[in-house]
Structure 1
Amino acid sequence: MFDGNWRSAVNRGLDPIGAVLCRLGVSADGVTSFGVAMAAVAAVVIGRGQLILGLIFLILAGLSDALDGPIAKASGTSSVRGAFFDSVSDRVCDALLFGGLAWYLGSTEPGHIFMLPLALMGVASLVSYQRAKAESLGLDAKGGLMERAERFIVLGAGLAFSFVLIPVLWAMLGLTAATALQRFAKVWRQADTMHSV
């Protein structure tokens, strides 16, 4: 949803910041790497039960993810390699954050609720895979109710208000699964149209 409706406007707002950081000698790959490091720290502090501190590092990871593109654009270093590095880094960050949540829930909640973040990680990975595979076939799988930006925002709300964290994760799982179904149907229709031509 964010990709379709707000991405271009946000990028325009971040372009001047990217230009300033570029002039200061900050590289896009460096910012991407910093974002992964922040996600790793967030995972550890969340796992240890420091959810507000985890939220701060989550925000830093999200800002890094938002700024690497504008920096690459300002420096003229946008490339296929950079896009690949950014995409792989996104998956690493997701795995770290969901792993930290599983660690936290496994330490604080009874039963098997720690599996909830792992289920969410699996469905989120499917959403990302659908887009990557569709684009490799010349199709479009963007869009959906719960893309990566939305997951960051909703997870941040869950960390800020820990008493709703588990309901928030359930809601994320349902909406992310709905996004996977939306993307599947979208690509299926496109592929069917191409087959019919």
Structure 2
Amino acid sequence: MLDARLRNLIDPALDRMGAGLARAGFSADAVTLAGLSFGLIAAALIAMGQPGWALLPIGASRLADGLDGAVARATRKTDFGGFLDIFSDFVFYGAVPMGFVWADPGANGAAGAFLLASFYTNGASFLGFAILAEKRRMQTSARGVKSLYFTGGLLEGTETIAFFVALCLWPGGFAPLAWGFGALCFVTAVSRVLLARKVFPPET
């Protein structure tokens, strides 16, 4: 819901930083993998009972996630780069909740499973929509220049990162927060299904 507004604010700065990284010889894929590595470090810290410290690699991971596209725009965009970016995002989004489950399986297991199921469902609706949008050659840059068609929704990347930060600041509240956020993820997925039914009507 907030991604499009946020992109307008952060893209100019990201583009300047990305151009600088490109001049220094960094590739977009390398930045993507660095972001994924930071995300996995954050998940490991959470699993070890250090969610407060996990905020640092989470921030670094999301900064890299914004910079890889800026580096690609300053050099050369590739289909594999787009694939690696979305793959890394999905791994990150799954790893952080798993960190909380591993930290306390008894207290967080059921809520974590529900949250991950909601992420899976929401991701399926997102990727399914993107596939059909590509088939119909639809384009949008509302959430930045992407390799895939990004649909909006009640919960997007900005809201998810805010949710992860809240979990790290209040790890004892993982279960109620996960149940609530997971429910909203399912609402987002259903709304995307309804949008797809409207945008992609049966062929006659």
Q: Shorter-chain TM-score: what band?
A: 0.7 to 0.9
SS at match of 1:64: helix
SS at match of 2:154: coil
Does residue 128 in structure 1 map to residue 131 in structure 2? no
Q: Which residue of 192, 196, 203 maps to 1:187?
A: 196
The residue that corresponds to 1:99 in the other structure is: 98
Count of residues in correspondence between the two structures: 190
**2-structure distance, mates of 1:2, 1:80:** 26
**2-structure distance, mates of 1:99, 1:181:** 24
Q: After TM superposition, which residue ranges in structure 1, 4 or more long, deviate above 4 angstroms?
A: none
Q: Which amino acid aligns with 2:185?
A: T
The residue that corresponds to 1:49 in the other structure is: 49
Q: TM-score, normalised by structure 1?
A: 0.86
Which blocks of at least 5 consecutive residues in structure 1 are unaligned? none
**1-structure distance, mates of 2:58, 2:93:** 11
Q: TM-score, normalised by structure 2?
A: 0.84
Which blocks of at least 5 consecutive residues in structure 2 are unaligned? 139-148
2:118–2:186 CA contact under 8 A, matched in 1: yes
Q: Which residue of 104, 114, 124 maps to 1:119?
A: 114
Residue-by-residue CA offset, 1:134-170 (whole Å, 9 max, x unaligned): 2222266611111133111221122123343333222
Equivalent residues in 2 for 1:57-96, closer than 5 Å? 57-75=57-75, 77-96=76-95
Tell which has more relative contact order, 1 or 2 (C-alpha 8 A, sep 6+). 2
The residue that corresponds to 2:21 in the other structure is: 21
The residue that corresponds to 1:7 in the other structure is: 7
**1-structure distance, mates of 2:20, 2:96:** 29
RMSD: 2.0
1:141–1:187 CA contact under 8 A, matched in 2: no
**2-structure distance, mates of 1:10, 1:173:** 27
Q: Which residue of 122, 137, 141 maps to 2:132?
A: 137
